[in-house]
Amino acid sequence: MMKLQRRSFLAATAGLTFLSAFPRMVLADGHDMLKVAIAAETGDLDLLQNVSTLSSYTVVFDALIHYGPGGVLEPGLATAWTVADDGLSISFDLREGVTFSDGTQFDADAAEWNLKRWMGVADFSWIGISAAFGSIIKDAPNKITVTLTRPVAAALLELTIVRPVRFLSPKAADADGKQTAPIGTGPWIVESYASDKTVLVRNDAYWGEKPSFARMELLVVPDELARANGLRAGDLDVIGGDWVAPLSPRRASALKTDGMTVVAEPGTATTILGYSPKSPMMQDKAVRDAIFIGVDRAAIAAVLFEGYADPTVNIFPTTVPTAGTRGEVPMRDVAAAQAALTAGGWAGDASGFTKDGAPLLIDFLVSDESFPGSRRIAEMIQGQLMEIGIQCNISSVDNATMHDRRPKFEYDLTFFATYGAPYDPHGSLGASFVTAADTGPDGKIYVSDDLDKVVLAALDAGGEAREPAMQAVYDWISANTAACPLVVSQRIWAVNPRLKGFGLPATDYDLPFKGITLG
């Protein structure tokens, strides 16, 4: 009896030991996999089509130059580069020994094939280096020179953007040049793609620092609350990022309370209140001045962003290069705003202002669909302006209507946001402040003939002339109250505490995985 009991005990112990190991064996995959939430499906990652989510490209495809923290240019597929003194050519030393994930060699031929897919192509003329493209010279098997018809001051920065500048395997395109598969040189390889998730596996042949885990799942979770609950439940490891799976300040605070790790850093994009240059009401500088002084930026940052934003009067934050000297954020001053209106010929008080019999009534165009949370900011600003005596009708519209009305300047006030790194400052300046720029449905923040000259001069200025030229743009915008910068929202991410070494990537267009180890 005693022997039987001992045998049973040993058998049970052995069984329990096996069973306790079994879940670990089953979960081994989970322990070696990072689960990242994305708000929308990745798409097929076609580098020439504007359909896939930008963040997903960055883990599969490399660029010649990478955008590092603080806007520092870091070697990517190019180990070194030289810009000619006249700015008309840029030579690149290509990284040797790099292969695409299908085994194709990355060399001057592959680089030339890739660059010619978008350089000098009309669809990509919004990229300065494409519009000024001259030719590509293969100097050596691993060295190329791109010649330009005119200098492009932001050429190197433009080579760090996501689409279409990254490199595709020449074998991953059909005879017409259409991309057939997402094959890049990046740290991750697309194993499978579906509408609900994309599975990536580590590229063990990656030239750079390899991820510490073998798999990464990009799970599509469109609803923010569902993402937060997924993180709490352990179904997700990482949520956040404006271009990945936005996390609101309120939700971040709640997650922090629940023990999740919340990481927030100064952002690179500015939320701006745009005055329509075509609106008779907004052509009156007194009205623009009154709004500029009358908006309480500190309250917006504290109340609606819960401290996850910094009030500003500058077009760009210091986290993007050549952002200019810092302006002092004014305290909201109702009396000064009313005085500005009175000086501009408006008569009235807090109950309302009129000029030549016409009331001061502003049409505030808002779309929560295209800019989540904007209606609440508009509501707050509406209350602040009404205290001054500026009546304000909020037109809450859908995304399509917003994109129809904004390019036509069919509004008095509306929200804009700068693109952020790595697109700024040249991206937002060239697109949002130049009359001739084709920005499609995005519209422009402010345009005028005078401003065109200043902005175009700044975009063309290189070397030491660039900073003062950029400053001239900022000074012009400030002196003419051409825009009303509000806040720079912080970049907010929340991660499962089991993750170690989490750090924000350099831009909001990158997915975080570098330095992360899974617990």
Partner 1 sequence: MKNWPWLILTPAIIFVLIGLFAPFLMTHDPTVQDYKAILSPASWSHWLGTDYLGRDMYSRIIGGARTSLVAMVFVLLAALVIGVVIGSFAGYVGGRTELVLISIIDIALALPSLIIALALIGVFSGASWSWMSDYWKMIIALTLAWWANYARMSRAVVVAELQQPYIEAARVMGASHMWIFTKHILPHVLGLVVVYASADAGALVLAIATLSFLGLGVAPPTPEWGQMLVDGMSYIEEFPSLVIIPGLALTAVVVSFNLLGEAFALQKVPKAVRGGLLRRKKATRAAEETARAATEAKV
Q: Using CB under 8 A, list all residues that contact partner 1.
A: 225, 228, 248, 250-251, 253-254, 257, 299, 302-304, 363, 367-369, 373, 375-376, 378-380, 382-384, 393-398, 400-401, 404-405, 408, 410-411
CB of 371 to partner 1, least distance (A): 11
Cβ contact 379:410 at 8 Å? no
CB of 402 to partner 1, least distance (A): 9
In the three-class reduction of DSSP (H, G, I as helix; E, B as strand; rest coil), residue 140 is classed as strand
**Opening angle at CA 308, ends 257 and 402, nearest 5:** 120
Q: Which is nearer to partner 1, 392 or 455 (CB)?
A: 392
Q: Which is nearer to partner 1, 109 or 223 (CB)?
A: 223
Q: Which is nearer to partner 1, 441 or 468 (CB)?
A: 441
* The residue type at 211: P
* The residue type at 318: T
CB of 400 to partner 1, least distance (A): 7
Q: Which is nearer to partner 1, 129 or 397 (CB)?
A: 397
Cβ contact 266:319 at 8 Å? yes
Q: Which is nearer to partner 1, 130 or 367 (CB)?
A: 367
CB of 370 to partner 1, least distance (A): 11
CA-CA-CA-CA torsion sign (331, 337, 343, 344): positive
**Residue 401, burial from CB neighbour count under 10 angstroms (0-12, 13-18, 19+):** middle
Q: How far apart are CA 165 and CA 65, in angstroms?
A: 10
CB of 493 to partner 1, least distance (A): 18
In the three-class reduction of DSSP (H, G, I as helix; E, B as strand; rest coil), residue 358 is classed as strand
Q: How far apart are CA 362 and CA 411, in angstroms?
A: 8
- The three-state DSSP-derived secondary structure of 188-249 is EEEEEECCCEEEEEECCCCCCCCCCCCEEEEEECCCHHHHHHHHHHCCCCEEECCCCECCCH
Give helix 374-388 / helix 285-294 axis angle, nearest 10°. Answer: 110
Q: How far apart are CA 199 and CA 501, in angstroms?
A: 22
CB of 360 to partner 1, least distance (A): 16
Q: Which is nearer to partner 1, 306 or 467 (CB)?
A: 306
Q: Which is nearer to partner 1, 66 or 297 (CB)?
A: 297
CB of 47 to partner 1, least distance (A): 34
CB of 128 to partner 1, least distance (A): 33
Cβ contact 232:255 at 8 Å? yes
**Rounded to an integer, what is the distance from CA 55 to the centroid of its chain?**
9
Q: Which is nearer to partner 1, 361 or 434 (CB)?
A: 361
CB of 232 to partner 1, least distance (A): 10
Q: Which is nearer to partner 1, 68 or 407 (CB)?
A: 407
Q: Which is nearer to partner 1, 315 or 402 (CB)?
A: 402
**Residue 70, burial from CB neighbour count under 10 angstroms (0-12, 13-18, 19+):** exposed
CB of 408 to partner 1, least distance (A): 7
Which tokens is 320 given?
Answer: 């993007």
